[in-house]
């Protein structure tokens, strides 16, 4: 199965800074669709040339995504609520890392807020 969440460059995100720092005031950015119902993102940083992206993701209550994979390493840190895959349910403070190509599902019964990091293998 192909990549579920799209990784196209978005106008509200920023690339890797050439020097110093870049501030992204995510509270001022609207939630965006990422290609799967019930999963909304706020891109924080994306650099397609380096193959990296960092997103805040809001998973709406009842949202579910069937088995899929990603070409990158996927790291998930749960900030609020609960998030589950085919193995178990994760809560605030839980961290999951997936190998490129690792098949997994994703969903939330009551809603969740997570931060996602994608990077090349």
pLDDT tens digits for range 55-98:
999 999 999 999 999 999 999 999 999 999 999 999 999 999 99
The reply to whether 3 falls in a domain is no
Biggest CA–CA distance in the chain, Å, is 41
Structural domain span for residue 90: 69-101
Q: ∠26-32-35 over CA atoms, to 5°?
A: 140
The reply to whether 82 falls in a domain is yes
Task: Check: CB of residue 77 under 8 Å from CB of residue 57.
Answer: no
How far apart, in whole angstroms, are the C-alpha atoms of residue 6 and residue 65?
14
Query: What is the overall mean pLDDT for the chain?
Result: 89
The reply to whether 2 falls in a domain is no
Task: Clarify whether residues 61 and 73 are in a common domain.
Answer: no
Task: Clarify whether residues 52 and 76 are in a common domain.
Answer: no
The reply to whether 85 falls in a domain is yes
Task: Clarify whether residues 61 and 82 are in a common domain.
Answer: no
| Between 37 and 17, the higher pLDDT residue | 37
Average pLDDT score over residue span 110-118: 98
Task: Clarify whether residues 48 and 76 are in a common domain.
Answer: no
Task: Clarify whether residues 36 and 60 are in a common domain.
Answer: yes
What pLDDT is stored for residue 105 in this prediction?
97
Look at the pTM and tell me if it is higher than 0.75: yes
Q: How many domains does the chain have?
A: 2
- Alpha-carbon distance values, 90 to 52, 53, 97, 115 (Å): 24, 22, 12, 13
The reply to whether 59 falls in a domain is yes
Task: Clarify whether residues 75 and 92 are in a common domain.
Answer: yes
> Which residues, at least 6 apart from 50, have a Cβ–Cβ distance to it below 8 Å?
16, 120
What pLDDT is stored for residue 10 in this prediction?
44
The reply to whether 18 falls in a domain is no
């Amino acid at each position: 199965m192909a990549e579920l969440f799209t990784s196209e460059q978005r106008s509200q995100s920023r690339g890797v800074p050439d020097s110093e720092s870049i501030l992204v005031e995510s509270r001022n950015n609207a939630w965006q669709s990422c290609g799967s119902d019930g999963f909304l993102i706020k891109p924080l940083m994306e650099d397609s040339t380096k193959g990296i992206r960092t997103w805040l993701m809001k998973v709406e209550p009842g949202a579910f995504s069937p088995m899929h994979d990603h070409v990158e390493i996927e790291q998930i840190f749960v900030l609020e609520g609960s998030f589950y895959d085919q193995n178990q349910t994760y809560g605030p403070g839980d961290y999951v890392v997936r190998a490129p190509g690792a098949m997994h599902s994703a969903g939330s019964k009551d809603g969740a807020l997570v931060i996602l990091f994608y990077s090349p293998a």
